[in-house]
Amino acid sequence: MPSFTYNAKDAQGQSVSGSVEAGSRRAALQKLSARKLRPFSVKVSGASAGGVKKGESLSALLGFAGRKREAKPPNRSVALPFLSGIRELLVSGIQSADALRMMSARLTDPRQKQLATTLWDELKQGRSLSESFRKQPKVFRESVVSLVEAGEATGSLTNVLTRLVESMEEQKEIRGKLVAALSYPCFLTTVAIGLVLLFLFVLLPRIEGLLASLGGNLPASTKILIGVSNGMLSYGWIAAIGIALAVAATVSWRNTSKGRHAFDRMLLRLPGFGRVIRDMQVLQFTQTLSLLLENGIIMVQALAMAERSLANVAMRESFAEARVKVTEGVALSTAFKSTGYFDNMALDVFTVGENTGNVVPGLRQMSQQYTEMIDKFVKTFLGIVSTGVLLGVFALVGMIAFGIISAVFQLSSSLSAG
């Protein structure tokens, strides 16, 4: 039976090495796993190579099965469920290091498991939880890392994670409502496009052929539809290429610094939708800022961290200018008002809290107001959009149906005359 030498880590994180006899490399890996060892090097020893190259890496030894089990790198979408899991364990009285160790062993989601294992390895090397988070910038924003760091310093990590998870869940719920509300208009638009293509490219050519064979004349409405159909068949590919090139050029332009700023500013000017983007970004900013201030981060530093949580570059620059004004001694409410992104009523509520010397309750109330405003506006705006799309679909389908029905009547007249 072949013999395999290995280097691995045990359950306590200590490096171990040795050899194991197994019928195949996969069987050797299974034996090591049963011993609760995590191998990072497995090599066939001596004459037991059996035609397999010595020094082959673990990923090569696993072959297809290893590639199949390979997980995608964790990203921002993993942050909320991962933080929720840590929070639940901390609430139960488990320390953060033990929580990560348990998650690395028990999680089934491959990306979360990979993240937990990486963080657990960092903690075993003596790093703090916030330092470990900071090494995962694709998963955790700087504001999240700063909050965790403040929670560790003040001994209130559980409370910080609870508030952070609640804030992230609120933002996720708003995005979910927006996507759910847009799904109906998108469905109607897709159905309308399918019907139009069916009428123009299937039904109309057949009716045109029948009338041509019977010598009948097509109605004007049907001739227009046939002209549109022929034009799309003849020149549609040119339009498709033009649209693809325009999209590619727009994406390339947006990836530049000036293009990103101009594009994000144009988004804010879109009727209706721009307001939703603006209010959601303001909500993100106020929630992050209140969490940072509540956990001992000084004002200027908290403003800088909250700015980095904004996805819209144009708004981020405006808030950076407001931060400079705050450092010059301008009141926070006045600096907020100068951005032009805050509702006057929300600013008035915040000003009351600022006058009392504690801005955190005012920021919380402002966040609550923006949550209610976004929810109400999304329902109203998307109701109008849904109605407009529905009327547009009916009008388009009605025009095509009228053209086809006119042709059918013409065909009936031609057959009666014949």
39 vs 257: CA distance, rounded Å: 45
Own/partner pairs, 27-33, CB within 8 angstroms, 24+ separation: 28/4, 29/61, 29/62, 32/6, 32/8
Q: Per mean pLDDT, which of 217-231, 251-265, 279-293, 332-346 is the most reliable? A: 251-265
pLDDT for the residue 58: 46
Q: Residue range 172-189: average pLDDT?
A: 79
- 108-118 residue pLDDT tens: 888 989 999 99
For 76, 81, 206, the CA distances from 111, given in Å and listed in that order, are 11, 11, 54
Q: Residue range 348-363: average pLDDT?
A: 77
* Distance from chain centroid for Cα 96: 27
Quick check: 299 pLDDT over 60?
A: yes
pLDDT for the residue 40: 59
**Angle separating helix axes 313-327 and 257-269, nearest 10 degrees:** 90
pTM, rounded to two decimals = 0.62
> Side chain identity at 259, as an amino acid letter?
G
> Side chain identity at 273, as an amino acid letter?
F
Instruction: Return the minimum-mean-pLDDT range out of 22-26, 146-150, 186-190, 359-363.
Output: 22-26
342 vs 351: CA distance, rounded Å: 12
When comparing pLDDT for 104 and 153, which is higher? Answer: 104
Q: Percent helix, strand and coil across the chain, each rounded to 5?
A: 75, 5, 20
Quick check: 247 pLDDT over 60?
A: yes
Strand order in the sheet with 15-21: 15-21, 3-9, 38-44
pLDDT for the residue 70: 52
Quick check: 198 pLDDT over 70?
A: yes
Quick check: 342 pLDDT over 60?
A: yes
Q: Residue range 288-302: average pLDDT?
A: 81
Q: Residue range 274-289: average pLDDT?
A: 85
Contact 86, 100 (CB under 8 A): yes
pLDDT range class, residue 21, cuts 50, 70, 90: confident
**3-state SS class at 362:** helix
134 vs 231: CA distance, rounded Å: 56
Q: How many helices (H) and strands (E) does the chain have?
A: 17, 3
- Please give the DSSP secondary-structure letter assigned to residue 156: -
**3-state SS class at 153:** helix
Q: Residue range 255-260: average pLDDT?
A: 87
pLDDT for the residue 289: 84
Q: Where are the domains of the chain?
A: 3-69, 76-140, 164-418
pLDDT range class, residue 77, cuts 50, 70, 90: confident
Quick check: 57 pLDDT over 90?
A: no
- From the list 214, 314, 195, 321, the residue with the least C-alpha distance to 262 is 314
